[in-house]
Structures are given as structure tokens and as C-alpha cells.
Chains A and B, each alone.
Chain A
Amino acid sequence: MSSTPTTATATARTAPGMHTADPELEAAIKRENRRLGRLRRRDLILAIATPVVLLAAWEIAARTGALDGRLFTPPSAIAAQAWKMILSGELWVHTLATVARLIVGFVIGAVAGVLVGLVMGVWRPVKAALEPTFTALYALPKIAILPLLLLIFGLTETPKILSVVISVFFVVQINTLSGILQIDPRITEAARAYKATGWRLFRYVLLPGALPSIMTGLRVSAGMAVIVITAVEFVASNTGLGYLIWNSWQLFQPSTMFVGLITVALIGALVTGLVILLERLMLPWRHSNGTKRKAKK
């Protein structure tokens, strides 16, 4: 749709003509559509085949002894172990603990990051006061302050959630701020020319203008939040998937460890997928087949 930059009137005038029945043209269009459909199906099959083949190879290698079965539990055994852990409820307990920390930490960090970023973008003195400090703190590996948080709050939920909050906050705040600052000055001038001021300028121009960058911040920080919570649970928790993975190393239970790894990977994919979905809902104007378009052209 946006591929050919035809002149305006030409498009407007020839578009209805596209529907006139020319059997030869229609047949050619159908052939082209079928060809594209075949290509899409082939891509899908290949995408699914790769992990299936790898898993099969792993299974065979582990069973024939080409891989050390004590370290690389064959996929079938991992599945059996997962099933056992689901039935006993063990997997649920750890998954819920991780997911709860992740959600609470992510939501608090993201909301605070967006708010602070927006305020910094709109009020110059706030930006002047906070930006150098925040930039310095951004460079600090967030996981490194976990011991301090443990010192302050003890072995409670608070330091775990706070680690996530802090990691998410800085990424979202920096992306939100740069989103506001990167708005094309010609756009803000147009807004000024049409007398958009105060709340309306913010609501209709600055916020939508910064939104793509805010979404990038959310996507990046979602992935980071999963890393941080897993690392925190390695050392400072006796629940959660991080704990499960770490503990099964200490007890030498590779099958349990694999179950934990796969679950964390699934959570990571799910969280990222949700943020991408949110992005599609929030930024319909970014996607060429935006939901608000009427089938016309």
C-alpha cells in the first residue's frame, strides 16, 4: 500500500478501476497470490522443523551415549519430569513466585519511568536537575546493588521486587525522555501554530510523539526484568524459577534444571510478546495496515 509513491490524483482515480473484471489480469493476480501463499507456508514449515530436528537429534544423541545423558537429559525425560512437577504443584509454586515479582516490579518501574521521563521532557529545570545523576546511575549494573537492598530490607520480597523496579525504571525513563526530545521540531511548531498548549499539547502531540520510544523502552526493559529476577532468585530466594535452577545445580538434578530453564524462556517470550501486542494496539499509525483504515485504496 505504501510501496508505490504514485501521485495523489492518479491513485484516487485508478483505484476503483482495479475492480473491473479482466479475466486475464484476475488470473495473473490469483497466480501471484497462490505463489505468495506457498512461500509463506514453506517459511512456517521451516521455522517449526528446525527446533523439532534439533530436539530429535538431542534425544538420539543422549540415548545412544553420544551425549552424556547425566548432563544432557533427553527431551523425553525432561517432559516427563515437567509433568511430574506440574502434578506435584512444585512448578506452579516457583512459576507463580517469579511471575508475581516480575509483574509487580515491572508495572511499578514502568509507570514511574514513564512519568519521570515525561516530566523531565516537559520541564526543563527538572531535566537539568535530574539528568546527569540519572545518566550516571543508569550505567551502574542494577544487580550490583542487590546486596545493599538485602542489607536494608532483609530477606523479604521487597529487595527482589525493588531490583526489578530499578532495572525497569531507568531504561523506561531514558527512552521516554529521549522520545520527547526527539519529536520533530517541525511537528511541535505545527502544534504551536494551531494553538495547542498545556494539557492538549501534551495529550495530542508530545505523548503520541514519544510513544514509539516509550514502547521500545518497555520492550527492552521487559527482557531485562526476566534476567534480573532470575539472577536475584539464584542468590537471595528459596522460591522462584531462579532458585529452582540454582538449587538443581547444587543437587545435581539436570532434568529439573532444564524444566526451570524452559519455563523461564517461555515467560521471557510471553512477556516480550505481550509488550509487542501492546505496541500494536497503542501505535496503529505505525503499521501500514492500521486498524482505523477503511478498505478503499
Chain B
Amino acid sequence: MEKVGDAGVVHQPAPSDDVYDFVVEDVSKVFVGSTRVQALSDIDLKLKRGSFTCIVGPSGCGKSTLLRIVGELETATKGRVQINVPQAKTPRSAFVFQEHGVFPWFTVLQNVAFGQQMASVGKKEREQNAGRWIAEVGLTGFEHAYPHQLSGGMRQRIAIARAFATGSPVLLMDEPLGALDAQTRMLMQEQLLHLWEIEQKTVVLVTHSIEEAILLGDQIVVMSARPGRVKEIIDVPFGRPRDFAIEASREFGELKQYIWDSLRDEVQASMRFS
């Protein structure tokens, strides 16, 4: 893969809604092991600065792999990813993983401050900042608790606070709410909407919930069964700020039905694999 950092990119003088943080071109990924697995095939995707992109697709379609390639945790076997995010002291992208992403040996405060600690931010400054984000996700009073003392929903909020506290302009989330019960999940979706509206980061969210994708996203990327291809990119017609009220609208129901129709064949195809 050819990574083009800030230096190698000609910044277009176009209006701000034409700035793309990531341009994924013709990316394929093959995992080489005892058997070869082609996870991704010819992916083309543009991520506008400050946009919220949701990726849906059948399990095993390479959604997470695509997210990892965008976040530089994985390299593409073929193709290139153009990254136009300026490299600062903090990492370009902050991750939220589904589960097990928080360090059990650190307190809530230490976990949330971890990204800034790795970016060599002073203890006082990073803990102050972490305290602010702990308050933002409603964990004030639990700063010195260890993750195992908290519920699953609270642990997931640690992960979200850590990603925001790192201060990266890009947020990459891999089914961050997947393991939560329905009510906690709704609360967290509201919280994410709220946090994103005040911070305006470029967000990519991998999810298996169509409702979640419509509720949160500006655009929804529908992926096909393995090897993952971009089947369709749908612009979400709802404006901002948004809340759960849109779920009651006819448009919401129609869009959900449309995406499900698009996904159904792919889910069936992926079930034949396994």
C-alpha cells in the first residue's frame, strides 16, 4: 500500500465539503495463512472531512478489515489509501473496539488518558482532559474504579471517552455498541450523536444494526458477502441535529426496508459460506 501523508498530497482549494480525509482506491485484502482468505475486493470509498459514515454488511464481509486499513492497523494487499489528515502529536485516528479494548489494569481515568499519555501529554493536562470526557460520558465518580468493577455499558463508555479524549480528528468504531442490551444501546446512540454534533469529527462506524446506521450516519456503505465489495452507498436524507423521533417517520421505515432488501441476499450468501 502506498500511504500518502500530508506532504504528498496536493490540497485542493475547493470548499470545505469537498475535503476528503480518506480516499480508498481499489483496495483488496488477502489474508495469507494455512488457507487464503480474500477479505476485501476492489473497494473504492471517499470519506468527507467531518462526515459520519456507517458500514453495514453480513458478518465476515471484511467490514472490520476495511476499518483497520483506514486506521493503519492493517495494510492493503493491493490498492492505495490516500490519507489527508494532518499528522500531529496525537494519532490520526482514535479507535473504539467492540469489547476488551479497555485495559483491565488501569483505572477509568488512566484508561481514558491513555491516548494522550502515549502522545507524551503531561500528566496534569491529560488527566484534566480525561476528567472532562469522563464527565461527558457520565462516569464522574468512577475515575478510580477498575473496569471489572463496572457494567458492560460503562466499560464501553470508557472506550468512547478514551477515543474522544485522545483528540484525534478521526474516530473509527468497530461495533462499539454491539454487545450492549437494547436500552443501554439506545442511550449510548443518543450520547454518540450528541458528542459527534459538538466535536464534528470524521467518523466511521461499523455496525450490524440498520437502524443504528440510519440514525447516526450521513452515508451508509452497504457491503457484499465475502470477498467484501462496496455494493451501494446511500446518502441518509435526515438533517441534523437528529434524535430518535426520526425512527417514527415513514421515510425511516422505507429506507430501512430498502437497505434490508439490499442486504438480504448478501446475508444469505454469507450463511452459505459458514
Contact = CB atoms under 8 A, between A and B. Distances in A.
A7 interface: yes
Contact of B73 (A184, A189, A211): A189
A285 B146 contact: yes
Contacts of B71: 193
Contact of A292 (B91, B138, B146, B152): B146
Interface in B146-168: 146-154, 157, 162, 166
A35 interface: no
B181 interface: yes
Interface stretch (B78-86, B99-107, B210-218, B264-272): B99-107
A196 B116 CA distance: 11
Interface in B102-122: 102-107, 114-115, 117-119
B260 interface: no
A297 to B, nearest CB: 7
Please indicate which of the listed interface residues A1, A6, A189, A190 has the most CB atoms of chain B within 10 Å of its own CB: A190
Contacts of A5: 151-152
B149 A8 contact: no
Contacts of A204: 103, 106, 114, 117
Interface string B132-148: 00000010011111111
A7 B145 contact: no
A124 interface: no
Contacts of B142: 296-297
Given A193-B71, A290-B146, A293-B145, A187 B103 contact: yes
A209 B105 CA distance: 8
Interface residues of B, number: 43
Contacts, number: 107
B245 interface: no
Interface in A178-200: 184, 186-187, 189-196, 200
Contacts of A283: 105
Contact of A11 (B103, B114, B147, B151): B151
A156 interface: no
Nearest to B98: A186
B20 interface: no
Nearest to A9: B187
Contacts of A191: 103
A41 interface: no
B97 interface: yes
User: 5 shortest A-B CB distances, which residue pairs?
Assistant: A8-B153, A208-B105, A193-B95, A8-B154, A285-B146
Interface of A: 1-2, 5-9, 11-12, 184, 186-187, 189-196, 200, 204-205, 208-209, 211, 283-285, 288, 290, 292-294, 296-297
Given A194-B115, A293-B146, 9 more contacts: A1-B149, A8-B153, A11-B154, A187-B103, A190-B103, A196-B114, A284-B146, A293-B144, A297-B149
